[in-house]
């Protein structure tokens, strides 16, 4: 079975500082990896996804993530946090012959002015 681990449910970051959210995956097949963002009382919005090819993936709103097979990681970063980045972020994996997603528990990001 595929799974992802996101540590540290709440992440506080100062406005203008680096945002780093960690995601480690477990998969017996080449994984497809996703980051989704959820704003309060809303559904999930796709930030970015990794399929194959380039390991550095750029997404929306200035976010990017790097796939590192040797570390089984897909960490999400943004160089400079903005107040509008306050939301919950989920890492997800799929790939075992279908596109069903297995999600991590999420990171609640708080941006401090």
Hey, is 108 helix, strand or coil? strand
Contacting residue, 28, 70, 84, 98, with another protein by CB under 8 A = 98
Which residues from 37-76 bind another protein, rule CB under 8 A?
42-46, 49, 51
Contacting residue, 23, 57, 74, 106, with another protein by CB under 8 A = 106
Q: Is 90 in the site for another protein (CB under 8 A)?
A: yes
Quote the CA–CA distance of 46 and 36 in Å, as a whole number. Answer: 4
Q: Is 11 in the site for another protein (CB under 8 A)?
A: no
Strands (E) in the chain, as ranges, are 3-5, 10-14, 19-21, 24-26, 32-38, 44-50, 56-58, 64-68, 73-78, 87-94, 102-103, 107-112
Does an H or E element contain 96, and which? none
Contacting residue, 8, 9, 68, 79, with another protein by CB under 8 A = 9
Residues that bind another protein (CB under 8 A): 9, 32, 34, 36, 42-46, 49, 51, 90, 92, 94-106
């Amino acid at each position: 079975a595929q799974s992802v681990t996101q540590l540290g449910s709440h992440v506080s970051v100062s406005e203008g500082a680096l945002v780093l959210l960690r995601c480690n995956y477990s998969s017996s097949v080449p994984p497809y990896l996703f980051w989704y963002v959820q704003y309060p009382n809303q559904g999930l919005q796709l930030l970015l996804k990794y399929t194959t090819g380039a390991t550095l993936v750029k997404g929306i709103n200035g976010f990017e993530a790097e796939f590192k097979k040797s570390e089984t990681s897909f960490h999400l970063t943004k160089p400079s946090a903005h107040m509008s980045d306050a939301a919950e972020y989920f890492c997800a994996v799929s790939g075992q012959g279908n596109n069903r997603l297995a999600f991590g528990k999420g990171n609640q990001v708080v941006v401090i002015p």
